[in-house]
Structure 1
Amino acid sequence: MLQTVIIGAGVMGLSISRALSAHNRHIHIIDCSTPRMNASYAAGGMLGAQNEFFADTPLYRLAMTSRAMMPNTAQALAKETQINIELQTHGLIKVATTQEHIQAIEKQFAFLSQQDHAIYQLTPTQLRQRFPQCDLTSCAAFKIHDDGQINANLYTQALLQSAAKRSHITLHLDTEVMHITHTKTHYHIATSKGSFDADELVIAAGAWSGELLKQLNITLPTQPVKGDVKLIESDYTGLQETIFNMNGCYIVPKKPNRFLIGATSEIDNWSTHNNNANLRWLDTECLHMIPALRTHHIVKTWKGIRPITPDGIPIMGAIRPNLYISTGHYRNGILLSPIVGQLMAQLIEGDSYAAEQLQYFSPKPQ
């Protein structure tokens, strides 16, 4: 029986494990469960297949496919685990609130409206209604109908429970990978709780993936990006859509009467604590967009470490025989997880179509 080891129990590692065939394979998922740092639990949960893109690229097409898969994924997880991941489809408003971002938002609207004629620009009256403090000379926005959202924390929990229910999957949580070596026949993974010999090794450890690969003398261009996030509770009922500002601040309505406010981006920052200046920036930008949220109660603040590559393109595929990588998804890990889980599993199982679909994202070690 094949012994498959997946390092990383975030949405990528778990999605790959669920999609892999159980025939003649036992899967071990290893995760150190680092407190306050796991990107999957900290994510806003946006399904921004259109929000994030300005041109027709392989990543854009992959994102669109994955977004379409999420309703079925949510339904399957609810059936398996009885966890409702709170899929919402109220759409997303992309907004620029300063003159410096007007040109970029107009460029994005021009591209997206050619692809999707339901996308529309907000009129001056609609802008004033939605963003009452907006200066109409330096403000522009458009509405994307199909970019929804889920509860990322519940989604990750559901994936974890789904994996745990499968007899061919064993979870090894709170387990730190100490060292990885390669022999002629397998990969040897020494951990804080014992050792594993893997016929197939998948590294899906988010921002830590590059560090793990260095143990095999493989260098990939990945960097950590720290993001500060906060969750507030408010009586305000005038917002259902996600609001995403071109400056990076977003407001995601959550149940019940809660709003997830994110997220700052600090490259090469591994800090495990919130930065108070960053939290104040989130407050300022949030209230500039929706001043009605000024009266609120802070539920909690937290942070996550997201993996990014220099060109913003995720790295997914085979590096060496029986060694696979999936990382660099930055803000799109939740969105991309259904399709990436499927394609990576198919790639591991030798599917040529999956190899073709992932060719654009193939790792290129330095």
Structure 2
Amino acid sequence: MRVGVVGGGIIGLAVGAELRHRGADVTVYDPAPAGAGGAWHVAAGMLAPGGESVFEFPQLEPLLEASNALWPEFAASLGDVGYDDAGTLGVALTADDVTEMAREWKHQKLSPLTGSQLRDREPALSPRIRAGAFAATERQVDPRRVVSALRTVLAGRVVARHVSDLSEIDADAIVVAAGCGTEALTGLPIRPIKGQVLRLRGEPGLLTHVIDGAADGRHVYLVPRADGEIVVGATQEERTDHRPTAGGVHDLLRAALDLVPGLAEHELTEITVGHRPGTPDNAPIIGRLRDGVFVAAGHHRNGVLLTPITAKLVADLVLTGTTDTIADDFTPGRFGCA
């Protein structure tokens, strides 16, 4: 079977790689295959199925957990992609922050930790931190390494081409995984949601866990890499521009330094702006749009986490016509599309 995948981000590449692994003749169409314009390039790579998304769309939780379970094998198949299973420390600076974060911790059935217990695990944390929790099943991966590895798997199958109409694709089946560009190709309601992310660099070892915290009402996550880089994110703005702003950078840095004062000596190496592809209910669109056309888009904050399960579900659907019932709540039909 000849399959055209429109979109060369982390979702499109993973779908293409899975289809090729199962014997399909795959071509991935990407307007900038050597570029870094997708949401994956900005993403920190937290694999956290118990986050805020489960409150927005409860049916999303089983999908997030199922994909999280696939990540160890998926990462191993790609080589060194920065996969780390040290877990996440949720932390809260003030009493109001504790109230905010405690909802997530309770939902995840995590045992509360005192400030001193948190600092036993992560000495660089501020002594002002009041409480927190440890999520042992949360992991991280470097999306930039994942995309590089997937491009290697699909060497010779990624074509530098902008697709403006699906009729341009000569294939037995088409998968639209074009992120924020999916709406123009399909009519599905996918909007860009701006996010600003910072990258800091210092001596390796300041942090060993992902930190997911609140500081004076500002939510921030800190994702440490083995080489000393720490990703700090992320704003969430209903905007379409690509401009980094002083206010966004200030809010991220202030919250990060409140939680981990030692970051003040780190070099600020990168300020990046990207756009998450969001849907009206902030859940992904995975399924058949019409005969021969399938969609894998709109993953919002969970694109990296949902990569392996999306690839599996879409490949099942394209090659066999059916897929796991876990995808039933995420079809294009919920937006009035066949």
TM-score by length of 2: 0.88
Deviates more, 1:127-136 or 1:328-337: 127-136
Structure 1 residue 94: Cα displacement: 2.0
- Quote the residue 2:140 is aligned against: 149
Q: Does 1:111 align with 2:107?
A: yes
- How do 1:77-156 and structure 2 match up within 5 A? 77-78=78-79, 84-113=80-109, 119-126=110-117, 131-132=125-126, 134=128, 136=130, 140-156=131-147
> Given that residues 236 and 292 in structure 1 are in contact (C-alpha distance below 8 angstroms), is that contact kept between their aligned partners in structure 2?
no
Quote the offset at 1:352 in angstroms: 3.1
State how far apart, in whole Å, the 1-side matches of 2:309 and 2:331 are: 15
| Aligned 8 A contact 1:36 1:272 in 2 | no
Task: Give the match for residue 183 of structure 1.
Answer: none
Specify which of 232, 257, 267 is matched with residue 228 of structure 2.
Answer: 257
CA contact (8 A) 2:212 2:220 kept: yes
Letter aligned with residue 262 of structure 1: G
C-alpha change, 1:123 and 1:349, in structure 2 (3 Å) is same
2-structure distance, mates of 1:23, 1:68: 21
Alpha carbons of structure 1 residues 243 and 315: separation in structure 2 relative to 1, 3 Å: same
Does the CA-based 8 Å contact 1:12-1:326 persist in structure 2? yes
Paired amino acid for 2:171: A
Question: Deviations for 1:9-48, whole angstroms, at most 9, x for unmatched residues?
Answer: 1111111112225677422111112855311122101111
Q: Does 1:267 align with 2:261?
A: no
Alignment of structure 1 residues 1-366 onto 2, 5 Å: 2-20=1-19, 25-33=24-32, 37-54=37-54, 57-78=58-79, 84-113=80-109, 119-126=110-117, 131-132=125-126, 134=128, 136=130, 140-164=131-155, 170-173=157-160, 175-180=161-166, 188-189=167-168, 196-213=169-186, 218=187, 220-235=188-203, 237-246=205-214, 247-269=218-240, 271-354=241-324, 356-363=325-332, 364-366=334-336
Sequence identity (%): 26
Asked whether the 8 Å contact 1:120–1:144 carries over to 2, the reply is no
1:302-330 superposed Cα distances (whole Å, 9 cap, x missing partner): 22211111222111111111111111111
Q: More deviation in 341-350 or 58-67? A: 58-67
Contact persistence 1:37–1:305 (CA under 8 A): no
- Normalising by structure 1, we get a TM-score of 0.82
> How much has 1:254 moved relative to structure 2?
0.9
- The CA distance in 1 between the partners of 2:272 and 2:208, in whole Å, is 23
CA distance in 2, matches of 1:321, 1:239: 49
Query: How far 1:221 moved relative to its partner?
Result: 2.4
2:305 match: secondary structure: helix
Query: For residues 98 and 64 of structure 1, what CA distance do their matches in structure 2 show?
Result: 30
Specify the code of the residue in structure 1 equivalent to 2:137: D
- Cα distance in 2 for partners of 1:24, 1:144 equals 38
The C-alpha deviation readout for 1:42-95, integer Å capped at 9, x for no partner, is: 2101111223455694321121121121121122112xxxxx101111111223
Structure 2 letter corresponding to 1:295: E
* Secondary structure of the corresponding residue to residue 212 of structure 2: strand
Q: Could you say if the C-alpha distance between residues 171 and 135 of structure 1 is closer, same or farther in structure 2, counting changes exceeding 3 Å?
A: closer
Moved more, 253-262 or 33-42: 33-42
How many residue pairs were aligned? 327
Q: In 1, distance between residues paired with 2:164 and 2:245?
A: 30
Counterpart contact for 2:11–2:296, Cα < 8 Å: yes
* Pairwise CA distance, 1:287: 0.4
> How many angstroms apart in 1 are the aligned matches of 2:266 and 2:204?
9
Residue 239 of structure 1 contacts residue 253 of structure 1 at CA under 8 Å; is this kept in 2? yes
Q: Counterparts of 2:87 and 2:267 in 1: how far apart (Å)?
A: 25
Q: CA deviation at 1:276?
A: 2.9
Letter in 2 for 1:178: S
Counterpart AA for 1:141: G
